[in-house]
């Protein structure tokens, strides 16, 4: 029996990734389960999903508390979620990260695989949806399922150009994945946020170019969390409350707001 836990954020495709992996295992002749666990079900909110791969008589209907593998779709989640909780000492962490395994700070000395799934997703898909890229990394690092099986599962899920792009994301990630040991620290620095803040949901950070801002207040009006103030007729973002949804950047009529990835 192989048990896998996925950590992601709403909008990154963690639940779809779990379903694709379960499908890939099924295509190889195994029994498999994909179990989503929803919370707020909002873009940016932490999401967890689970996969079991094994024989029919081994299957149980419950959440996974001691996984063999943990797959992390967002590089900043480890600062707000205990991603290694329950992970077996003999297991492996597969994480979306722009740095090699030996630079990933963890509170557990566990075999770690990294790939810059966000960069691949932006390059191939044009959007930071990291689910298919991280599956390519999972195949390369663990060998638990074959690359060809994941590609077949992707082709069953989508068709045409969309399928082609996601297959390319899987293949690119497979080629770029590195495996090693992390940088073990006594404690992960998980900064506290103000009450009712969703700042720890943020992967991309909106940055305002004051010279371009015309003070139209459109971003101030559309911000769902009221995290934008107008100061001297210019937009100023309160990052204690901004969750990085990007609506302000999408709606800005003069492109004065740019979404930049938060530093890991």
How many other C-beta atoms can be found within 10 angstroms of the C-beta atom of residue 162? 12
Band of pLDDT at residue 121, cut at 50, 70 and 90: very high
Domain spans, the chain = 2-184, 199-261
Is it the case that residue 42 has pLDDT exceeding 90? no
Q: Does domain 199-261 have CATH number 3.30.70.20?
A: yes
Distance from CA of residue 264 to its chain's centroid?
13
User: CB-based burial of residue 149 (10 Å sphere; 0-12 exposed, 13-18 middle, 19+ buried)?
Assistant: buried
pLDDT (tens digit per residue) in 51-103: 999 887 777 878 899 999 999 999 888 888 899 999 999 999 999 999 999 99
User: Residue 84's closest CA among 185, 15, 174, 192?
Assistant: 185
Tokens representing residue 134 in the block: 């991280």
Q: Does domain 2-184 have CATH number 3.40.920.10?
A: yes
pLDDT at residue 193 in the model: 62
Give the chain's mean pLDDT.
92
Average pLDDT over every residue of 108-130: 96
pLDDT at residue 190 in the model: 66
pLDDT (tens digit per residue) in 80-89: 889 999 999 9
pLDDT at residue 169 in the model: 98
pTM, full prediction: 0.86
User: Residue 138's closest CA among 184, 163, 169?
Assistant: 169
Q: Do the domains at 2-184 and 199-261 have one common CATH topology?
A: no
pLDDT at residue 3 in the model: 97
Tokens representing residue 61 in the block: 């209907």
SS3 155: helix
């Amino acid at each position: 029996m192989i048990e896998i836990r996925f950590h992601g954020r709403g909008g990154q495709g963690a639940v779809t990734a779990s379903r694709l992996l379960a499908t890939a295992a099924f295509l190889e002749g195994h029994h498999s389960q994909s179990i989503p666990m929803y919370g707020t079900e909002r873009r940016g909110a932490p999401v967890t999903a689970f996969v079991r791969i094994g024989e029919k008589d081994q299957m149980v209907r419950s959440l996974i508390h001691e996984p063999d593998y943990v797959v992390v779709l967002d590089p900043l989640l480890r600062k707000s979620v205990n991603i290694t909780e329950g992970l077996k000492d003999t297991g492996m962490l597969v994480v979306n990260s722009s740095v090699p395994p030996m630079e990933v700070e963890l509170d557990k000395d566990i075999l770690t695989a990294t790939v810059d799934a966000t960069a691949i997703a932006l390059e191939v898909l044009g959007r930071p949806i990291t689910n298919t890229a991280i599956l390519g990394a999972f195949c390369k690092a663990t060998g638990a399922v074959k690359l060809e099986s994941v590609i077949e599962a992707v082709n069953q899920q989508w068709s045409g150009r969309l399928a082609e792009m996601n297959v390319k994301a899987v293949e690119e990630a497979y080629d770029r994945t590195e495996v090693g040991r992390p940088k073990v620290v006594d404690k992960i620095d998980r900064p506290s946020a103000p009450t009712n803040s969703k700042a720890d949901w943020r992967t991309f950070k909106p940055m305002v170019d004051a010279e371009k801002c015309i003070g139209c207040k459109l971003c101030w009006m559309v911000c769902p969390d009221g995290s934008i103030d107008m100061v001297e007729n210019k937009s100023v973002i309160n990052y204690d409350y901004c969750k990085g949804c990007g609506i302000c950047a999408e709606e800005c009529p003069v492109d004065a707001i740019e979404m930049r990835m938060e530093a890991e």
